[in-house]
Structure 1
Amino acid sequence: MIQNPNVAEVPNLIWVEKISNFLDSKFRIPGTKLRFGWDPLIGLIPGIGDFAGFVISAILMLYMTRYGASRKVVIVMSLNVLLDAMIGSIPFVGTLFDFGFKANKRNIELLKEHYYEGKHQGNGNGIVWTIMLALICLFALLLFSLYKLVSFIIQIF
């Protein structure tokens, strides 16, 4: 059900879907339903692999923001790309993560839901506040851990 009455305003997602498919699900492991693309493969190249995947994902995301994606969609897409880049950069674990997470495919689904079904409208302030709260808690945990470490070292000496 298309909620957007002016379909002419909806961007053509075909080329974006092709790039997403290329990065996330181009190949199938024979005898299974598991699919993967070039993203985890180029991620195996130390230093430049994950950066290249991040740049391509970021370009796709920027293209879609030019076509009126809501702030909420842009925030969630950004989180997908950043999470993929951060965890994807961890040796071995990141490659396994890239096989399963598929940030570009997730972003395409978000865009389809946004443009064709009218979902994910709004400013995304709830998401931003949740992220800020999580970062504050993480920072507090880091400070507490640092305090405990320093206390332990002082007790030893």
Structure 2
Amino acid sequence: MSPSSAPLSPPSDPAALEQVRRLAQQLDTSIRLPGGIRIGWDAVLGLVPGVGDWAGALLSTYIVLQAVRLGASREVLVRMLGNVALESLVGAVPFLGDVFDAAYKANMRNVRLLEEHMVAPTATRRASRAWVLGIVVALVALLVLGVTLTVLAFRAVAASVQGLQ
């Protein structure tokens, strides 16, 4: 095998896996709040309107890219991307999204998926297929909810404006 065709990281690269674990911990559980609740920098970034959720999604995508380098299956990668997409989409909803982001912890879920895949690839692949179907249904439901809430908000604003005239 030539150097240019060698994989970027061997499938069991412990240093790369540890780097991914540390990043996930920083993004999802590194800050302790009163009452023992733990959030991470991803939730804090999400508070910045517009760019915060995109920055968090970009950092989360790095974990998925490392999973590619570590040899994760297509099903596991789709599931990981689904976690990032779900957290990013719901995270874009003001306040509710920030609470969801702090609770869902997509990065920790993705590291757990990667670790499980490295231990038992076949079992993880089967579970991932069922999860992908579930996440598609959930994303469609969230889309419908988002559109419905947007329409209701616009109607409320229009009614308020008409009431002021």
Q: TM-score scaled to structure 2, two decimals?
A: 0.68
RMSD after superposition: 2.7
State the match for 2:22 in structure 1.
Answer: 18
- Give, in whole Å, the separation in 2 of the partners of 1:128 and 1:98: 19
What percentage of residue pairs aligned between the two structures are identical? 37
- Give, in whole Å, the separation in 2 of the partners of 1:131 and 1:104: 16
1:97 counterpart (89, 97, 100): 100
Q: TM-score scaled to structure 1, two decimals?
A: 0.72
What 5-or-longer segments of structure 2 have no aligned partner? 1-9, 149-165
The total of aligned residue pairs comes to 131
2:57 matched to 1:54? yes
- Where do 1:105-116 residues align within 5 Å? 105-116=108-119
1:38 counterpart (37, 41, 44): 41
CA pair 11-123 structure 1, distance change in 2 beyond 3 A: farther
**How much does 1:34 deviate?**
1.5
What 5-or-longer segments of structure 1 have no aligned partner? 1-7, 146-157
State the match for 1:151 in structure 2.
Answer: none
- Give, in whole Å, the separation in 1 of the partners of 2:67 and 2:11: 12
Verify the 8 A CA contact 2:31 2:40 in the aligned structure 1.
yes
Question: What is the one-letter code of the residue matched to 2:60?
Answer: S
**How much does 1:129 deviate?**
5.6
State the match for 1:121 in structure 2.
Answer: 125
Per-residue displacement from partner, 1:29-48 (whole Å, max 9, x unpaired)?
Answer: 23x33211111111111110
State the match for 1:149 in structure 2.
Answer: none
Higher relative contact order (CA 8 A, sep 6+): 1
2:69 matched to 1:81? no
- Give, in whole Å, the separation in 1 of the partners of 2:109 and 2:127: 19
Question: What is the one-letter code of the residue matched to 2:62?
Answer: I
Verify the 8 A CA contact 1:21 1:105 in the aligned structure 2.
yes
Give the match's secondary structure for 2:125.
Answer: coil
